[in-house]
Structure 1
Amino acid sequence: MLKKRLIPKFLLRDGRLVKYVRFFENERAAGNPVTTAKVYNDYGVDELIVLDIVPSEASRSRVVEIIERMSEEIFMPFTVGGGVKTLEDVNMLLRAGADKVSVNSEAVRRPEFLREAARTFGDQCMTVSIDYKRISPHHATVFIDGGREHVALDPIEWARRCEDLHCGEVLLGSIDRDGTMSGYDLDMIHQASRVLSVPLIVSGGCGSLQHAIDALEAGASAVAISSMFLFTDHSPIKLRSHLASRGLDVRSSSSSRN
């Protein structure tokens, strides 16, 4: 069985590391992305996710520069996404140093793009990011364009379709819980983990060590964490130690430089 993973998530806006609540509220600056990545590298985190949240031609060049610098400074795998629409976009990010590329809106608009990208670069290189909101306690729907546009897709059904299109893993993010540090959407995690064969990364809501435990025990393969690592004293080392003490199968806490 694959070990459970701890994955810091970076949101970039115009090359700046930022964090919001529910995607749009209360912007907070969160430091230099390359410097912060080096800190997490020394903490020995498993991977890093970097998302350009307001993609444009100008921001793409900044992201590529940041990724090139990260690839020279850190030794952990990282996934990069935001505004990926073409095979050339995927190729550009992989050549800059990304290990995997995350696709969100374009996969919804043009599902065959995901299949083509997986066939060209390999399933293992393609992550599908799925953002969703709950419309009612028992119904959720997918949003694209950074949470700005609603589409009539159930997130679980869409995740299953993406697996059929040969994505290598799914990053499932709750817009309602994003940045709130109120805990993950455990019901959605239960549902998704029961139907998916590819790894499931969950995002949105982690604010305590117990929240991460709850998500992993609910079936997540990995937890993506932003606010808790950036704005509290809960470090990846502390979380990994706590998870191991609870019997969860995580990698040892040695630095990823070793």
Structure 2
Amino acid sequence: MRLIARMDIKSTHLIKGIQLEGLRKIGDPNEFAKKYYDDGIDEILYMDIVASLYERTKILNIVKRTTEDVFVPITVGGGIRSVEDAAEVLRAGADKVAINTAALKEPQLISAVAKKFGSQCMVLSIEAKQNCPGSWEAYYDNGREKTGMDVMEWAKRGCALGAGEILLTSVDCEGVAKGFDCHLVRAVTDAVPIPVIASGGMGRMEHLFEVVSSGHVDAVAMAHVLHYGKLTVGEVREQALAKGVAVRRIDCE
């Protein structure tokens, strides 16, 4: 299972919010990315929450700087509306693109990106809010806009269109640090055969153990717990290994 540092970006700043709202500046994203890389993170996930054409060069410059001294896979999401946008992000040094809004509005974009760059490059980003027990709706625009679309149906359709991975963010749990929506994660991992990244809710190690036991999670994205220094990447890896969670062993490389 991969350990991923999720880094939400606004302009040139690393920020953090609660349920994707109430954003607070944390610091320089490149400094945090380098620290997490030195500590042994498996991947970096940049989510551009401004995602306008005017601001795009700022996230591209952050990615370019990151690739100078960080050598793990980088995924970039936010504002990718076309194959050309995806190509621009990949040229900057990203390995994968995460698409939410544009995929919901034009599902064939999933197929177009997968065909052009390979399905392993196409990450379907799903922002999920619970309607009632056992039912979740897909949202966009940082969890503000409804789609009326069932998360499970959308995940299966995205998989069929060529997505190679799903970034599954629980808007209800994001930034609260009280644990993942394990029922959501289990439902999606049962519904699709492609890798699923659980995002939103990790505040302590018990939350990682809970989500791992809830279903076949391929990766866990962490933000709050790392950015605020509650745990280091090394501590997460060490405690995961001690509990028998199949994460990468740094000392064996």
TM-score range, shorter chain: over 0.9
Equivalents in 2 of 1:91, 1:195: separation in Å?
30
The aligned amino acid for 1:221 is D
Does 2:213 match 1:217? yes
Question: How far apart are the structure 1 equivalents of 2:203 and 2:128?
Answer: 19
Distance in 1 separating the partners of 2:211 and 2:250: 20
Deviations 1:129-182 (A, max 9, x none): 000111223321110122121001111111111110111100000111110001
User: Counterpart amino acid of 2:250?
Assistant: S
| 1:44 and 2:36 aligned | no
Asked whether the equivalents of residues 54 and 146 of structure 1 are also in contact (C-alpha less than 8 Å), the reply is: no
Deviation of 1:73 (Å): 1.6
Whether the 8 Å CA contact 1:15–1:59 is kept in 2: the answer is: no
Query: Which residue, out of 157, 161, 164, partners 1:165?
Result: 161
What SS is found at the alignment partner of 2:41?
A: coil
What is the one-letter code of the residue matched to 1:227? Answer: H
Pairs within 5 Å for 1:85-234: 85-219=81-215, 220-234=217-231
Alpha-carbon contact 2:178-2:203 (below 8 Å) kept: yes
* Corresponding residue to 2:244 among 241, 244, 247: 247
CA distance in 2 between counterparts of 1:7 and 1:138 reads 27
Q: Which amino acid aligns with 1:113?
A: L
Tell me the percent identity.
35
- What stretches of structure 2 of length at least 5 have no aligned partner? none
1:68 counterpart (49, 55, 64): 64
The one-letter amino acid of 1:174's match is S
Q: Which runs of 4+ in 1 moved over 3 A?
A: none
Tell me which residue corresponds to 1:17: 14
Give me the CA root mean square deviation: 1.3
Are the counterparts in 2 of residues 19 and 227 from structure 1 also a CA contact under 8 Å? yes
Would you say 1:57 and 2:56 are equivalent positions?
Answer: no
Superimposed CA distance per residue, residues 28-63 of structure 1 (whole angstroms, 9 cap, x where no aligned partner): 211110011000010111101000012112220000
Aligned residues: 252
Aligned equivalents of 2:54 and 2:161: distance in 1? 30
Does structure 2 retain, via aligned residues, the 8 Å contact 1:16–1:29? Answer: yes
Counterpart code for 1:16:
H
- Between stretches 98-107 and 142-151, larger displacement belongs to 142-151
Distance 1:254 1:20, change over 3 A: farther
Specify the code of the residue in structure 1 equivalent to 2:185. I
**C-alpha separation in 2, matches of 1:10 and 1:91:** 21
TM-score by length of 1: 0.95
1:242 counterpart SS class: helix
**2:62 alignment partner, SS class:** helix
Query: 2:124 is paired with a residue of what secondary structure?
Result: strand
Aligned partner of residue 109 in structure 2, secondary structure: helix
Residues 134 and 183, structure 2, Cα contact 8 Å, conserved in 1? no
Gaps of 5+ in 1: none
Q: What is the CA-CA distance between 1:225 and the residue it aligns to?
A: 0.6
Deviation at 1:254, TM superposition (A): 4.7
3-state DSSP of counterpart to 1:30: strand
**Higher RCO (CA < 8 A, seq sep 6+):** 1
Alignment partners' CA distance in 2, 1:204 and 1:253: 25
